[in-house]
Chains A and B, each alone.
Chain A
Amino acid sequence: MITRKIQYQMAKRAVGPFLMALDRWQQTQKARKRKPRETPFGPVLQSVQKLKEIMTLNYFEGRYADGAVPVVWVTSGFPAEVFFALGFHVVYPENHAALCSTRHQVPEIAEFAERDGLSRDVCSYARSDIGSVISGKTPVGRLPKPDMIACCTNICQTVLYWYRNLAEYLNVPLLLVDTPFMYGGTKEHHLAYVSAQLGEVIEAAEKISGRRMDSEKLAKVVENARDGSRLWGECLSISQARPAPWTGIDTFFHIAPIVTIRGTDLCNEYYRMLKDELTERVKAGIGGIKNEKHRLLWDNLPIWFKVREHSTMTAECGFNFVCATYSNAWAEAGDLIDPSRPLESAAKTYTYVYLNRDLDNRLKTTVDLARNFGVDGAVLHSDRSCKPYSVGQVDVKERLQKDMGIRVLLLEADHADERSMSGEQAELRLQAFMESFNE
């Protein structure tokens, strides 16, 4: 235990930062030697290096976390502030699965879960993470074994089916926050239920970790989460400028801190830095792409394994994804969080999540984004792996076309598994969609 604690602290405070510094130095050397490449994008954001360091360090410390500090795996919509306040190392399997996809490792890893009987029709994130647990294969070296896993159903019910399996494979307890779906407004007993479950989660987490919740610490984490969420929203809003100083595709990657280290000082420092840089770019008229002719909205999760190809293809034709319902989801909660009433406000904040609300509200949010960011088209990713996000898109497409007069493409793909998508067909459809703007 002591050795493990020393290893963890060394990884966190010495080895990790040293490796990051080394990597920074190597990157600088490479950049000096590299011949500048012609791309349709604006200059690379300076913050990217910092983002890379934060995320790499987070996964690097994770390798040594189990046995040193309590470890929990959580869903992206879980009120993880309670775990940060208790000193847990928090792992986000969704983020990990997305990483597997960007590295094109999903087919190989998910196959282990499929061999065990998990159908290829279920969420590819789930298959990737379960496959990773079975095989030990991961692009991050090693994931720490959790002391428990925690699931909140505010983004889908799928996470609960997925985490029930993880709990069995890992042989650890599963903590649940079940958030009743919101049709119109919420009901008092729904919020009371979420609040009561949060109390149960804290009690269980205290028992498992052997630590007591410090209410001041929790209030500080919650305050940070509120500020972080607001800062993230401000970063996104900057893209209302023309040209937008970054791309919606960039936001898919820069979302990582608000998802994975929400509530920490580091998260907020990062977004302050990013916000400053984006503001400067707007002042200097620097765009996320060089020649922004059309502005698009993206709906649903990214197609992680194709992000680079699709963004390059669209940027070359002067199309920039300036906003995305997916990235926006983490910016919506900021004003609901109240550090003086952490649990009560968390119940509301985590119930009012975009995906936990009816389609009417989702359409309204999409229309607001489209208006505020002045888009003239939208791509709705009909995601085979995310049915709850995709149900309703056929109608949303019609409404956006009819009510807003914008062009909309419904593009069928998968957020992580390249085997579930016909790449060529999707590219042809994207191409045809962009050509339609010239008609």
Chain B
Amino acid sequence: MRKEYIERQKREHGRKVVISLPIHYPKEVLTALDILCVELWGPPGEALSSQAGRIQTYVCPIVRKALAFIAGGFASDADALLFPHTCDSIQGLASLIPDFGGWDGPILRFIHPKGERRASSEVYLSKELDDFISQAETLAGRKLETARLADAVRLHVEIDDLRRRIIESRRNIAMSDKELYAALRRGEWLWPEDHLAELKELAAEISDKPQKKGVALMLSGIVPEPMDIFEALEGAGAYVVADDYAAVGRRISAPLSELPDDPRRAIMERYFALPPCSTRSSDLAGRVEYLAALYKKSGAAGLVLHNIKFCEPEMFDVAMIKKRFTTMGAPLLYMETELEKQLSGQLSTRLEAFVEMASKGGAVK
């Protein structure tokens, strides 16, 4: 379905296609240049080719599987690859593929600043954005028009607003978490206007009354894979009430009091207004407090930290998050998955036990 959609985008709209590794990049620029961005989170399941063996098994499975996908020839429909500077492993992949084989086509890079907002990082981000625009213009074969960029910014602001509203109102939507997440994650590959249309339909489903019953949980992690984690939770009598997945909630910029007229400036402000994320090396105390506030506001009865095995940025934040949630007396479960096709029986059992404990306001794990 995804493949057909992409082919149609190329054929009917003459759009170039960029395959992007996670997570943060100025999508508005690509939209304004009529470039379809398709994100590559693995893909989940078995590695698609033996090329995964070129990276050691103790490295993040998203990166190993992405290498198998790209170097195995599954990205041949794309016009370019995009590597945001998310972590050391993606940075390594961004060098491995062009330097040692696997992809001969164009490569775009976006090396976003790490750490807190500083005078130096503001200037740098502005220049890096210019550089990214120039790379994207070369790919598109035309100059970026300011008016189109401004339109694209407004479009992505609208998408973010709707996504935020849907996530915040999820209790009131009569839809399973798996379906809801699948709908939200279609934004990883749909043309933004198509995604917006689907989000509008989804938002229309928001009822005045809660549609969900059971134990409300907050989930935090990199990417909700395997997606049947939601079925396991539902089966155990729980549902997701707050989200901090890097693939979902952490990509929704906080609303700005005023959107700058200059679209470049607006992109920068939206970048700095993103929720705290380990991959941007946000202030750790700030991230922990953000999570605590989100947890309290949502009324969740427990937190599931769902990490991807060997994801260093995320693993390093766990200790401080655990400390804070222990102080709050909030039940917490830490679990790791490896982009496998299905959730293991063992993890399902752990989730069931956790839901039961959370339902009783049990002790912190």
- Report yes or no: A158 in contact with B114, Cβ–Cβ below 8 A: no
- Give, as a whole number of angstroms, the nearest-CB distance from A356 to chain B: 10
- Report yes or no: B85 in contact with A161, Cβ–Cβ below 8 A: no
**Counting CB contacts under 8 A, is A297 at the interface?**
no
- Report yes or no: A387 in contact with B88, Cβ–Cβ below 8 A: yes
Select B99's contact among A197, A360, A384, A388, beta carbons within 8 Å. Answer: A360
**Counting CB contacts under 8 A, is A178 at the interface?**
yes
Collect the chain A residues with CB atoms within 8 Å of residue B321's CB.
117
Collect the chain B residues with CB atoms within 8 Å of residue A388's CB.
88-89, 91-92
- Report yes or no: B322 in contact with A116, Cβ–Cβ below 8 A: yes
Collect the chain B residues with CB atoms within 8 Å of residue A153's CB.
114
1/0 contact trace for B109-144 toward A, CB 8 Å? 101011110111101100110010000000000000
**How many angstroms from the CA of A360 to the CA of B98 in the assembled complex?**
9
- Report yes or no: A164 in contact with B319, Cβ–Cβ below 8 A: no
Collect the chain A residues with CB atoms within 8 Å of residue B310's CB.
121, 387
- Report yes or no: A394 in contact with B55, Cβ–Cβ below 8 A: yes
- Report yes or no: A197 in contact with B95, Cβ–Cβ below 8 A: no
**Counting CB contacts under 8 A, is A391 at the interface?**
yes
**Counting CB contacts under 8 A, is A113 at the interface?**
yes
| Nearest CB in chain B to that of A122: its residue | B315
Interface residues of B in 238-278 (CB under 8 A from A): 278
**Counting CB contacts under 8 A, is B195 at the interface?**
no
**How many angstroms from the CA of A84 to the CA of B292 in the assembled complex?**
40
**How many angstroms from the CA of A229 to the CA of B58 in the assembled complex?**
34
Collect the chain A residues with CB atoms within 8 Å of residue B319's CB.
113, 116-118, 130, 165
**Counting CB contacts under 8 A, is A392 at the interface?**
yes
Collect the chain A residues with CB atoms within 8 Å of residue B98's CB.
183
- Report yes or no: B316 in contact with A384, Cβ–Cβ below 8 A: no
| Nearest CB in chain B to that of A130: its residue | B319
- Report yes or no: A178 in contact with B316, Cβ–Cβ below 8 A: no
**Counting CB contacts under 8 A, is B213 at the interface?**
no
Dominant SS among interface residues on chain B = helix
Collect the chain A residues with CB atoms within 8 Å of residue B313's CB.
157, 161
**Counting CB contacts under 8 A, is A344 at the interface?**
no
- Give, as a whole number of angstroms, the nearest-CB distance from B289 to chain A: 12
| Nearest CB in chain A to that of B53: its residue | A394
- Report yes or no: B281 in contact with A164, Cβ–Cβ below 8 A: yes
- Report yes or no: A395 in contact with B96, Cβ–Cβ below 8 A: yes
- Give, as a whole number of angstroms, the nearest-CB distance from A167 to chain B: 7
**How many angstroms from the CA of A235 to the CA of B322 in the assembled complex?**
48
- Report yes or no: B285 in contact with A168, Cβ–Cβ below 8 A: yes
Known A-B contacts A160-B115, A187-B131, A359-B100; the reply to A394 vs B120 at CB < 8 A is no
Known A-B contacts A157-B87, A178-B113; the reply to A117 vs B312 at CB < 8 A is no
Select A382's contact among B56, B111, B121, B124, beta carbons within 8 Å. Answer: B56
- Report yes or no: B316 in contact with A118, Cβ–Cβ below 8 A: yes
**How many angstroms from the CA of A118 to the CA of B315 in the assembled complex?**
7
Q: How many of A's residues come within 8 Å of B, CB to CB?
A: 51
The CB with the most chain A CB atoms within 10 A, among B94, B98, B111, B309, is that of B111
Interface residues of A in 123-146 (CB under 8 A from B): 123, 126, 130
Collect the chain A residues with CB atoms within 8 Å of residue B315's CB.
118-119, 121-122
Collect the chain B residues with CB atoms within 8 Å of residue A412's CB.
56
**Counting CB contacts under 8 A, is B320 at the interface?**
yes
1/0 contact trace for A193-205 toward B, CB 8 Å? 1001101100000
Collect the chain A residues with CB atoms within 8 Å of residue B296's CB.
none
**Counting CB contacts under 8 A, is A92 at the interface?**
no
Interface residues of A in 8-67 (CB under 8 A from B): none
**Counting CB contacts under 8 A, is B200 at the interface?**
no
- Report yes or no: B120 in contact with A196, Cβ–Cβ below 8 A: yes
- Give, as a whole number of angstroms, the nearest-CB distance from A400 to chain B: 12
**How many angstroms from the CA of A361 to the CA of B85 in the assembled complex?**
19
**Counting CB contacts under 8 A, is B297 at the interface?**
no
- Report yes or no: A196 in contact with B111, Cβ–Cβ below 8 A: no
| Nearest CB in chain B to that of A357: its residue | B95
**Counting CB contacts under 8 A, is B284 at the interface?**
yes
Collect the chain A residues with CB atoms within 8 Å of residue B100's CB.
359, 392, 395, 399
B binding-site residues for A, Cβ under 8 Å? 53-56, 58-59, 63, 85, 87-89, 91-96, 98-101, 109, 111, 113-116, 118-121, 123-124, 127-128, 131, 278, 281, 283-285, 309-310, 312-313, 315-323, 334
A binding-site residues for B, Cβ under 8 Å? 113, 116-119, 121-123, 126, 130, 153, 156-158, 160-162, 164-165, 167-168, 176, 178, 180-181, 183, 187, 189-190, 192-193, 196-197, 199-200, 358-360, 363, 382, 384, 387-388, 390-395, 399, 412
- Could you list some 15 contacts between A and B, CB below 8 A? A117-B319, A160-B281, A161-B278, A161-B316, A164-B281, A178-B115, A180-B85, A180-B111, A189-B128, A192-B127, A360-B95, A390-B56, A391-B89, A391-B96, A395-B99
